[in-house]
Structure 1
Amino acid sequence: MKFTDLNLPEQVLQGIAYTGFTECTPIQEKALPPALAGKDVAGQAQTGTGKTAAFLISLFTRLLKQEKVGTEHHPRALILAPTRELVVQIEKDAQQLGKHTGFTIQAIYGGVDYMKQKNALKEGVDIVIGTPGRLIDYLKQKVYSLKNIEALVIDEADRMFDMGFIADLRFILRRLPPFDERQNLMFSATLNQRVMELAYEFMNVPEKVAVTPEQMTAERVEQVIYHVSRKEKFPLLLGLLRKEGMERTMIFVNTKREAEFLFDRLNVNDFPARVISGDVEQRKRLRILEDFKSGKLPIMIATDVASRGLHIDGVSHVINYDLPQDAEDYVHRIGRTARAGAEGKAISLADEDGALYLEDIHEYIKERIPVEWAEDELFVHDYIRSKPRPKPAAKPHGRAPAPRHGKPAGKHTEKPAEKSAEKPAGEGEAGEKKRRRRPQKKKPAGEGQPQ
């Protein structure tokens, strides 16, 4: 199906042409007809198949065909996403697809531009794309209102549950107009029972559409796994980086500590890399992403904060340095490559711990990842070992002694008590009195009396 076959407004068709799209992807072909007809839709498709464009095209079409209600410039549409990176990606796609619609689009997320985002909402926007936390913050301050919302989109709803956002999500949904007075769209890589319960609670008889649920991973991703001991993982990683000639590579790890370890060792061995994790400041994260997208940065190390929603063209390889503990995250990670019809390769390193998660991953993706055995020459043992990072200073228990007579705290000004002055428990005046008060044992009658 081509987009020109659908009854789309001219402004939307111009945006589609601007992005270079011509034919619908499978999820778009299934989801767009009911959505354009005004029905609520819950869509499931593997990552990188065009879910974002599907709900944006539906949303723009509805807002263009439906007259605005009221005179106040409150948002007409709300798009909710679980992570800042996903919000930024959706906003970028929305600006491109909605280039000719004339709608004002604003991203709302934490970590940056608090007053700038607040002032933008006060001035009035048509479409708000945001994470629940900051949206609720502004909502409680009455910076904006949700009373005029005509369309709601929830992206990656399953991730909302995983990240503990469900209470915040319900808080927002209960402040929207009644579900039968707005259109509701929900798209995700997985629609489990919890997500569908939410759909039936806040949507108006949603039509469920799914694409290739029997195949969870993208077709053009070449998957391979190496079984390797923990101490040989880094030598093998270096060998793979040298052999494969990876131009743009994402390396996924499970912990911030492992990310820092790889960052230090890769950079000291002439493999420029940067880290994206949940505690990296937002502006820095965006800079790293831009450098990676532009090709300035060849390797990006990431935790699962970057496993969903990021559309980066030309990612040639994804490496699972740590296998994910959640099988769904494996699908999302390797979906960062082979996007938009391109080809890519996903390499996983299974050490003693990672091997424990393999069975769940195989069961979830409904296939077994092909195993390759690394030859000895693939391991690099003459690499430079980075210096270990200094451990943070241990915090002292309790409060430090207060300064006395103007001397700095920590300097002992009191003389140590002499040992002779110390008395064990029970000694001294109190102890003597206690002994004197100790009752005497009474002698039995007749004992000690003369016979």
Structure 2
Amino acid sequence: MKKTHLTETRFSNLELSDSIIKGLKEAGFINCTPIQDKSLPLSLRGKDIAGQAQTGTGKTATFLLATFQHLINDESEKIKNPRALILAPTRELAIQIHKDALVLSKYLNLKFALIYGGTDYQKQLEKIKTNVDIIIGTPGRIIDFYKQGAFTLDNIQVTVLDEADRMFDLGFIKDIRFLLRRMPPADQRLNLLFSATLSYKVTELAYEHMNNPVLIRIEPEEVTSKAIKQIAYCPANDQKIPLLLGLLKHHQPQRSIVFVNTKRCAERLDDYLQANGYKVAMLSGDVPQEKRQKLLAAFQDNQVNLLIATDVAARGLHIPDVSHVFNYDLPQDVEDYVHRIGRTARFGASGEAISFICEEYAYSMPDIKDYIGEKIPVAPIEPELLAEQVAKPERREPRERVVQHGKRPPRPDHKPREQRPRPAANRASTPENPQSPETPQSV
């Protein structure tokens, strides 16, 4: 890490237990980042925090350390059922928080349950029924298990909301309030909220469900990190692929993410990059969870060094050593630009963000410039930056809709049309088949 991105405050000087300090040292954490320096002295003494800081500045460690210390300070008889609940907007972020928690709690006797949708339902249900100290997960499945009586919220001593702004974006606020209202009162627990932006809605949530929180903002005037070198090009639509291939060859990125706006574009780009010799992983919203985790693991382990992603991957992924981020498509939401480029230059490293201002999404750039408060330099497209030879991929067959002899293949439960039941509205009304608008029949 570069010391310019750290403070003089050392973790060993904070009110943290020796076991926590030992785990921090082994993980390579010696000095605090600014958000840790401002938040931990207060939260370690039981003060609620609503914190705003840029992505990649150590917010996760901030709330994990405060949570751990609060739980081990409790000298009461061992309580069954969870004592802390950490909520994240996406399963990727929940998985990463859990991973960090295991590292930082190496010398603590704490048990965790990782809960999220999309996979391992029964396994997670059985886990949460055991005597776990901390639940980390997404709201939907946690509420599902709560309503089944798998655990209680009566003994919650610490509540964490991570990326609260994203909770609003994804429509989770009703779920969040459902859980908060079933916990002990706010003044009987430690409440920690962290967000990339402390908008009016997020601040209102903090004051409604927290105990007089301290608002901490770190460098609010600097929306994007100075460690990220930003540059843009203005290609025609048919230049985007040759330009991307040329830039990849020119920069030789150690590990890079290419962001696109649609799954269709991701698939097309995936085909072209693979046809031109790149090992690529593609991440979009409908990728099954198990496959998604394998793709991310392959990316982190350098089995592939190029990830194509829609905005499902823009937040919450703490992947080290991403040297370059490419906005192949400019995002249509200005905040997504900040979160995308924040995948590079994490924890003091430097990085480069390259954006294509193409014909289709050029209208987004003025709003992005206004939001980040700076103009992104536009470089000319020199001829040497365009790949001369671009191998075209073989034509992709439509996924799960292979056409045979001009017809779709029949489904396993397919019946000839004459054997299918007619809709209720088209059947004649008979004593055996009465019609009633109050009792429509399913088709």
Query: Normalised by the shorter chain, which TM-score bucket?
Result: 0.7 to 0.9
What corresponds to 2:417 in structure 1? 401
What corresponds to 1:8 in structure 2? 16
What corresponds to 1:91 in structure 2? 98
Aligned partners of 2:91 and 2:335: how far apart in 1? 20
Aligned partners of 1:198 and 1:6: how far apart in 2? 29
- Cα distance, 1:388 vs. partner? 3.4
Aligned partners of 1:4 and 1:246: how far apart in 2? 36
What corresponds to 2:80 in structure 1? 73
Aligned partners of 1:218 and 1:299: how far apart in 2? 22
Among candidates 335, 343, 356, match of residue 350 of structure 2? 343
Give the residue type in structure 2 aligned to 1:42: A
What corresponds to 1:199 in structure 2? 206
**Identity across the alignment (%):** 52
Q: Deviations over 1:76-118 (max 9, x none)?
A: 0000000011001000111111111110012101122111111
| Residue aligned with 1:167, SS | helix
Among candidates 217, 223, 227, match of residue 230 of structure 2? 223
Give the residue type in structure 2 aligned to 1:331: V
Q: Deviations over 1:255-300 (max 9, x none)?
A: 1111111111110110111111111011111111111111111101
Alignment partner of 1:292 is 2:308: no
Larger Rg: 1
| Residue aligned with 1:143, SS | coil
| Residue aligned with 2:363, SS | helix
- Cα distance, 1:400 vs. partner? 5.5
Among candidates 93, 112, 118, match of residue 119 of structure 2? 112
Among candidates 363, 384, 395, match of residue 377 of structure 1? 384
Whether contact under 8 Å (2:82, 2:132) holds in the other structure is yes
**Structure 1 residues 153-168: aligned runs within 5 Å:** 153-168=160-175
- Cα distance, 1:390 vs. partner? 3.4
Among candidates 328, 331, 352, match of residue 335 of structure 2? 328
Alignment partner of 1:243 is 2:250: yes
Among candidates 343, 353, 359, match of residue 360 of structure 2? 353
Aligned partners of 1:73 and 1:148: how far apart in 2? 8
Aligned partners of 2:226 and 2:136: how far apart in 1? 30
Aligned partners of 1:388 and 1:367: how far apart in 2? 42
What corresponds to 1:212 in structure 2? 219
Whether contact under 8 Å (2:15, 2:41) holds in the other structure is no
- Cα distance, 1:308 vs. partner? 1.2
Alignment partner of 1:308 is 2:315: yes
Give the residue type in structure 1 aligned to 2:418: A
Whether contact under 8 Å (2:284, 2:310) holds in the other structure is yes
Aligned partners of 2:73 and 2:125: how far apart in 1? 29
Structure 2 unaligned segments of length 5 or more: list them. Answer: 1-8, 421-443
Aligned partners of 2:419 and 2:286: how far apart in 1? 36
Among candidates 53, 60, 64, match of residue 72 of structure 2? 64
Q: Deviations over 1:91-148 (max 9, x none)?
A: 0111111111110012101122111111111112000100011101101111111110
What corresponds to 1:19 in structure 2? 27
Structure 1 unaligned segments of length 5 or more: list them. Answer: 405-451
What corresponds to 2:372 in structure 1? 365
Among candidates 29, 38, 41, match of residue 30 of structure 1? 38
Give the residue type in structure 1 aligned to 2:224: T
Q: How many residues align?
A: 402
| Residue aligned with 1:222, SS | strand
- Cα distance, 1:338 vs. partner? 0.9
Whether contact under 8 Å (2:281, 2:299) holds in the other structure is no
- Cα distance, 1:363 vs. partner? 1.2
- TM-score, with length taken from structure 1: 0.86
- Cα distance, 1:252 vs. partner? 0.6
- Cα distance, 1:370 vs. partner? 1.1
Alignment partner of 1:41 is 2:49: yes
Alignment partner of 1:125 is 2:141: no
Aligned partners of 1:225 and 1:367: how far apart in 2? 13
Q: Which portions of structure 1, spanning 4 or more consecutive aligned residues, are displaced by more than 3 angstroms?
A: 390-396
- TM-score, with length taken from structure 2: 0.88
Aligned partners of 2:417 and 2:117: how far apart in 1? 39
Among candidates 171, 180, 188, match of residue 195 of structure 2? 188
